A and B are shown apart, each in its own frame.
Chain A
Amino acid sequence: MLPRYFYNFSTFMSMFPHNYLIYGADVSIVGATALIIFVLTYFKKWKWLWDNWITTVDHKRIGIMYILAAFAMFFRGGTDGLLMRTQLALPNLHFLSAQHYDEIFTTHGTIMILFMAMPMLIGLINVAVPLQIGARDVAFPYLNAISFWTFFFGAMLFNISFVFGGSPDAGWTSYAPLSELQFDPGPGENYYLLGLQLAGIGTIATGVNFLVTILKMRAPGMTLMKMPQFTWATLITSIIIIFAFPVLTVALALLTIDRLAGAHFFTIAAGGMPMMWVNLFWIWGHPEVYIVILPAFGILSDVISTFSGKKIFGYTAMVVSLAAIAALSFTVWVHHFFTMGAGAAVNSFFGVSTMLIAIPTGVKIFNWLFTMYRGRIRFTTPMLWALAFIPTFVVGGMTGVMLAVAPADYQYHNSYFLVSHFHYVLIGGTVFGAFAGIYYWWPKMFGHKLNERLGRWHVGTFVLFFNMTFFPMYIVGLMGMTRRMYTYPSGLGWTALNLIETIGAFGQGASMMIMAVNIVRSIKFGERDVTGDIWDGRTLEWSTTSPAAEYNFSVLPQVTSVDEWWEEKKRGVVRPDHATFKPIHMPNNSGWPFLIGLSFFIAGFGLVFNWWLSAIVGALGIITFLFLRSFDYNTDHYIPVDEVKRVEAAAGR
């Protein structure tokens, strides 16, 4: 029995119809926007913002903007999560209505995967990969800015849905026929389709960009098998992006045509095939989960090797297993819809192929353990995240293999057991890995470390509350609680577990506040990185200054081994002679990517409401700006030797 005040709490909450929450959110959005505009105007920062950030094509700044946006989205998605957990804290609550609950789990899932996990990792990739391979920028810096701004405006388009016209409510999987016009009228689903479409353009461009960057722009001497592990992970991820994302593009386009032009690709009527949406969605969807885990694997490899003071164990095996995971990730998608009933042969095939992925994944886990074995381990915050990653991810992976047993999945499917599985891999894997990367490369991005003490508190509390939230979900799932239910009756034995989960969820929120405090405090008090190599690192990003100069390296490094920087330090570091400097060729900043993104946004917004005027204006904007760009002959410049000398001297080199 629960104490009485809980019931009072529930009647108290029921006095808030969900509209008040929306009004509250609206007010805070308007307030925050007004505050930002005020601060920028008051401190005369508009020009600074435009010159240094909005028009930048520098991969390091683009990376930082990705990460900032990802944190904002983490906050939005996290708030969604807390609202859901509040609603489910106790049986029969009326904090959220069924409709509002549907909207919130839809935006939560979509935002967390596409607008939090991916940009957080793409941000780290942008920051670190060109530095790791000793390059001065990515292959296509201008395209990189287009990637960022299409992602950014795609995310904004998705996020304004609840302010104008209503959020999508058919889940992040947006299954047809539920997501078709007939069953889901209104702009909500259109926001989902167009927001994702727009962000997807940026993602595909990022995939192409980093594939070419890594293949073509490595420092002299860096053969493929001398690349750092994070670079390898990025290369493989880029390949998965290039092959998987077009499927999403097509699926979204077909559903958009259904909804806006009255076609019948996925309807039940007129020969449409709703199951085809499910099929296409997961052809993209499963590779997608590997797109968000492989970079985290790469971070882990680099972090573990650095803080164990050892070369990564089994370098070749690590590379081969990445490639194997990439190939296999295209052969398993049916495991998301065994219950569609495609038949025993189909289900067995895809069940077995799914289980195969556990093999290369296991190889990676063992190699991390062997890297630590007999290493001189330094328990820094990035290393703690890596250490937390391993057992958590193993639990997530093992429950994944349980789900891959097709007959058993008829029981687990769409239960809280599944919900727990993917939170163990996505938080325990992707988020822990991303946080390891954030703490690890923070000094490289900003020139100072985050506080280690607060960092340890962040890891400790987050891991504790994470398990408190999600472990009970395995149990309550086996007890029969299904995903996406907005409330449940009492007397099923679910109440205590749900309450624990809710407390854990708020604990995770509080834990993130520790990180926020850490970030703010460290601006002033964080240990400065004067050497550029504050962790005693092994790979090339630690050979340059923190933060790195615009041109990254005064002279391109000459590579002879894996962990090049570590070997150089053993031989005794020789800083490049100023006499050898040459003028450095760099791309110019450009405002077009921002304006193109904005035009896409206007076009997308128009399509959401079938408001053709806005759609046409936006489309014309896109074409005009592309056209103008192609006559832009002033696209690059040389940094004179004197300036390189001045910058290097100022950094004491």
Chain B
Amino acid sequence: MDTSHHDGYEHTAVSTHREGFPWKDIIGLVLSLALTFTSLHIVLTHALPIGALITAIVVLAVFQLFVQLFLFMHLTEKTGTRSNIGAMAFGLFVAFTIVAGSIWIMAFNSSSS
């Protein structure tokens, strides 16, 4: 993340080096695959009645969201908190608009011709 001049060189690209074994990322990968295949499995096998099925998928999806945010997107790391908040706010705005809007739009009873 630097264009600074330490060590006498001028760096160009954003540095992507982090120390240590990427445990977080590996746990995240396993979890996100598990969550994905669980939802696929319960749908393909009709493991639950329809209402419960949809609830289960939504719950799994929210878990997935947290996995992405905390394990891959490093939401908890200190740097760039302000832009993080901005990005989250805009993300919530877009998500809300899309989900609420779609429900509103698709709930029509063909009232007009």
Contacts and interface: CB of A to CB of B under 8 A. Distances in A.
B113 interface: yes
Interface in B76-103: 83, 90-91, 93-94, 97-98, 101-102
Nearest to A276: B106
A583 interface: yes
Given A135-B3, A279-B106, A343-B111, A243 B94 contact: yes
Nearest to A338: B112
Interface string A132-176: 000111111100000000000000000000000000000000000
Contacts of B93: 327, 330
Contacts of B11: 585
Nearest to B2: A216
B13 A346 contact: no
A584 B8 CA distance: 10
A575 B16 CA distance: 32
Interface string A584-621: 11110000000000000000000000000000000000
Interface residues of A, number: 42
Contacts of A638: 9
A275 B106 contact: yes
A243 B3 contact: no
A141 B5 contact: no
A556 interface: yes
Contacts of A587: 12-13
Interface residues of B, number: 29
B9 A217 contact: no
Nearest to A349: B104
B92 to A, nearest CB: 11
B10 to A, nearest CB: 5
Contacts of B97: 330-331
A350 B85 CA distance: 28
Contact of A334 (B14, B90, B105, B112): B105
B3 A217 contact: yes
Nearest to A280: B102
B14 to A, nearest CB: 4
A475 interface: no
A341 B110 contact: yes
Contact of A636 (B13, B90, B98, B109): B13
Contact of A342 (B13, B91, B108): B108
Nearest to A583: B9
Contacts of A276: 102, 106
Interface in A312-328: 327
A279 B102 contact: yes
B52 interface: no
A283 interface: yes
B30 interface: no
A340 B16 CA distance: 48
A247 interface: yes
A650 to B, nearest CB: 21
B13 A140 contact: yes
B1 interface: yes
Interface of A: prevailing SS: mixed
Interface string B15-31: 01000000000000000
B106 A582 contact: no
A617 to B, nearest CB: 23
Contact of B3 (A220, A283, A334, A586): A220
Interface in A264-305: 273, 275-276, 279, 283
Contact of B111 (A137, A141, A344): A344
B1 A137 contact: no
Contact of B108 (A135, A283, A343): A343
Nearest to B83: A215
A587 B15 CA distance: 11
A247 B98 contact: yes
B46 to A, nearest CB: 12
Contacts of B105: 279, 334, 342, 346
A113 interface: no
Contacts of A334: 101, 105
Contacts of A344: 111-112
A343 B3 contact: no
A341 B112 contact: yes
Interface string A201-228: 0000000000010011101100000000
A454 interface: no
Given A342-B105, A346-B104, A582-B5, A556 B110 contact: no
Contacts of B10: 136, 556, 582-585
A394 interface: no
B98 A141 contact: no
A559 B79 CA distance: 24
Interface in B42-63: none
Interface of A: 135-141, 212, 215-217, 219-220, 239, 243, 247, 273, 275-276, 279, 283, 327, 330-331, 333-334, 340-344, 346, 551, 556, 582-587, 636, 638
Closest 7 CB pairs of A and B: A136-B12, A139-B14, A342-B108, A341-B112, A343-B111, A342-B105, A243-B94
24 contacts: A136-B12, A137-B12, A137-B13, A139-B13, A140-B14, A216-B3, A217-B3, A243-B94, A247-B98, A273-B106, A283-B98, A330-B94, A330-B97, A331-B97, A333-B101, A334-B105, A341-B108, A342-B108, A344-B111, A346-B104, A582-B8, A582-B9, A587-B13, A638-B9
Interface of B: 1, 3, 5, 8-14, 16, 83, 90-91, 93-94, 97-98, 101-102, 104-106, 108-113
